[in-house]
Amino acid sequence: MNIGIIGAGAMGSGIAQVAATANCNVNLYDTRPEALAISQEKLAKIMNRLVEKERITAEKAADIQANINYVESLETMAQSDLVIEAIVEKLEVKKEVFSTLETIVSDQCILATNTSSLPVTAIAAACKHPERVLGIHFFNPAPLMKLVEVIPAIQTDQAVFDQAKSTIDSWGKLTVEAKDTPGFIVNRVARPFYGEALRLLEEGVADVATIDWAMTKIGGFRMGPFTLMDYIGNDINYAVTETVFKAFYYDSRYRPAFTQKRLTEAGYLGRKSGRGYYDYRENAEKPMPNQDETLGQKIVDRIVAMLINEAADALHLNIASRDDLDLAMTKGVNYPKGLLQWADEIGLSTCVSRLDDLFEEYHESRYRCSPMLRRMAKWGRKFYPET
């Protein structure tokens, strides 16, 4: 296949590597020659490391690199079977790119956006043939993360969706289908992992190190929320939260935190800036957590209840299937369990009680229980009745 990738940043370069590894011919386009040079240089280093670790042969590494053409003209997309856009998260910029692309590619070419939070339907509307536009959302780093969300716009033709999904599956990825709603699956369902952790911090329930300790050692998550936000970048994480909050008409469940906004304003972006919730500068002292098991369990119970509620509500609103929701959270953000499976293990009535206790304490719609979760608890049902 001939694959076009627009944007040679970390995400675009990663997608190009994935496609090239699947023996596709890739044209990686960027308006900045320096971005293309950096992308090519980084890929060479990655390939050398993989060869050194005996993950691939030197011949395979050479083939992957040869499969990618670094181009500065959008006209090179003309022979593409599939074009994936991975540029800045600005709707007007993306719409302009898609409108231009449509005049270059063939009628059979599928056009996809890698957006993580913008409406695919709005991007498709910029085209005269929106039926061939959809979302194909990879996770960073694309070569390592198995999950890809495939999002049909309202206008997307079913045959286009099926073909795109089949293509990404053939690249060795795990695809899930998500409705075109803010945040799709992962960026929507994961919001409480960050938001509720920040709420606990702002209320003084526990400090950063203690919340991270609780979520990893007791909750079983690979990274604590503050370590993960520092890894992602506070500017990026805050921007996604703000986008989802606005897109959901300012629903309090997705409200950003002033703490993260202030850190972003201060330039404390996390690992990439040397400071975030933690101090990454040389000789910086690492804060020690309060390893109180009772406190730790309280933290885990509250955050996990909020995550389960979000997953249940996504199922209630037909954002995705039960299996795709749980697959997305385990493979997209490495959660220790699928949230709906976890709800069954905890007990749906227990989840409802925890949410109701929070709502009774705060009287905020942020803590309202999903109708599906409450209904299923009342009826004594499980999300996985077969187990």
Q: Count of CB atoms within 10 A of residue 140's CB?
A: 15
25 catalytic? Reply is no
The DSSP code for 275 is B
Check if 67 is active-site: no
Q: Which residues contact 41 (CB under 8 A, 6 or more apart)?
A: none
Q: In angstroms, what CA-CA distances link 290 with 211, 259, 276?
A: 9, 21, 20
116 has catalytic annotation: yes
Residues 361 and 45: their CA atoms lie apart, in Å, by 53
Q: Is 149 a catalytic residue?
A: yes
Q: What is the CA radius of gyration of the chain?
A: 22
Q: What angle do CA 63, 67, 73 make, to 5 degrees?
A: 155
Element counts in the chain: helices (H) and strands (E):
17, 8
Token couple for 41: 């240089």
Catalytic entry in 13, 27, 39, 116: 116
- Looking at 137, 196, 234, 309, which residue is catalytic? 137
Active-site hit among 114, 187, 234, 309: 187
Residue type for 277, please? Answer: Y
Which residue among the candidates 149, 196, 234, 309 is catalytic per the annotation?
149
DSSP H helical segments within the chain, as ranges? 10-21, 33-52, 58-66, 91-101, 120-124, 158-170, 186-189, 191-203, 208-213, 225-232, 234-247, 258-266, 293-316, 322-332, 339-346, 348-362, 371-379
List, by residue number, the catalytic residues: 116, 137, 149, 187
